[in-house]
Structure 1
């Protein structure tokens, strides 16, 4: 779900099995994307995956690095991630969001060949688009709590708001 000139284009790693079955991003009940988005102030209320189109009025969109659905992101090959990164760059150049937020530091490192990247703003720019690496909101990423995940999303929101 993308439109031209978004404030932030969120980019998941790939569809999980529940997302593939429902056709909605971050659809597994334990995924913390939607709660973090709301708790960080990006949305005025907690949206459900089936309401993802309501992100557009907020200037937000969602895509994935890789298209193939899997139970776990680590089932994807390095080649799939690198190829997905190239396609993502093309998508960003075409749609020109102000920020690209890649959800998963390991996915970012592989897709953009940046082994030393840490969570937060990146030096990489794609045209005028700035890039931010966010933690993966999957419930499997337990060392990021709901609170710390929302705090990191809020840092991005503040940067996006400051940019105008």
Structure 2
């Protein structure tokens, strides 16, 4: 992934296609693509981002996927989108208006795709996009149609509030809720 600074800057404003399909268990939602993600065309592509290791550590995937393997998420009932579509070097380059518009577009996408859970990775982005200032990490009261909403910590390596183990624990809480019916079926078979 050896991109020059010029190549990375040229990726500014590009879009990264969603990895999504109707009826997913969990549609993960990042804040917006970083420049490396836009340059590669793959979500959470920066090596320091902890999204892929966290998905594995929390039990969502059987191994750590590489960003280029993101389409495999669909096999696990998972997908990825973003609140704001355009790529930027940092999330603080985005405006509140972009977040609000992104929240509206995201809600429309969720109504169309009908995942069981929408998991927004970033509480600040969620608060602005959905005008929900008191929101905290975890399940939300809000639903979008029949889709339940969960706010996750941002997996960025810059998020010092959540070391890897704590990040995996939060994602595992969502996994337990999203796949509770499978756990119940397993318990019934054990009887």
Does residue 124 of the first structure (1) align with residue 142 of the second (2)?
Answer: yes
Give the equivalent residue in structure 1 for 2:48: 30
Larger Rg: 1 or 2?
Answer: 2
Does residue 155 of the first structure (1) align with residue 137 of the second (2)?
Answer: no
RMSD between aligned alpha carbons? 0.7
Relative CO higher for 1 or 2, CA cutoff 8 Å, sep ≥ 6?
Answer: 1
Unmatched segments (≥5 aa) in structure 1: none
Partners of 2:161 and 2:151 in 1: CA distance:
16
Partners of 1:74 and 1:135 in 2: CA distance:
16
Partners of 1:47 and 1:60 in 2: CA distance:
13
Does residue 56 of the first structure (1) align with residue 97 of the second (2)?
Answer: no
- TM value normalised by structure 2: 0.85
Instruction: Compute the displacement of 1:116 (Å).
Output: 0.1
Query: Deviation above 4 Å: which 4+ runs of structure 1?
Result: none
Instruction: Compute the displacement of 1:140 (Å).
Output: 1.0
Does residue 17 of the first structure (1) align with residue 35 of the second (2)?
Answer: yes
Does residue 100 of the first structure (1) align with residue 118 of the second (2)?
Answer: yes
- TM value normalised by structure 1: 0.99
Identify the match of residue 44 of structure 1 among 39, 62, 67. 62
SS at match of 1:15: coil
Give the equivalent residue in structure 1 for 2:100: 82
In the alignment of these two chains, the number of paired residues is: 164
Instruction: Compute the displacement of 1:71 (Å).
Output: 1.0
Partners of 1:74 and 1:116 in 2: CA distance:
20
Instruction: Compute the displacement of 1:163 (Å).
Output: 4.7
Give the equivalent residue in structure 2 for 1:7: 25
Partners of 1:163 and 1:105 in 2: CA distance:
27
SS at match of 1:28: coil
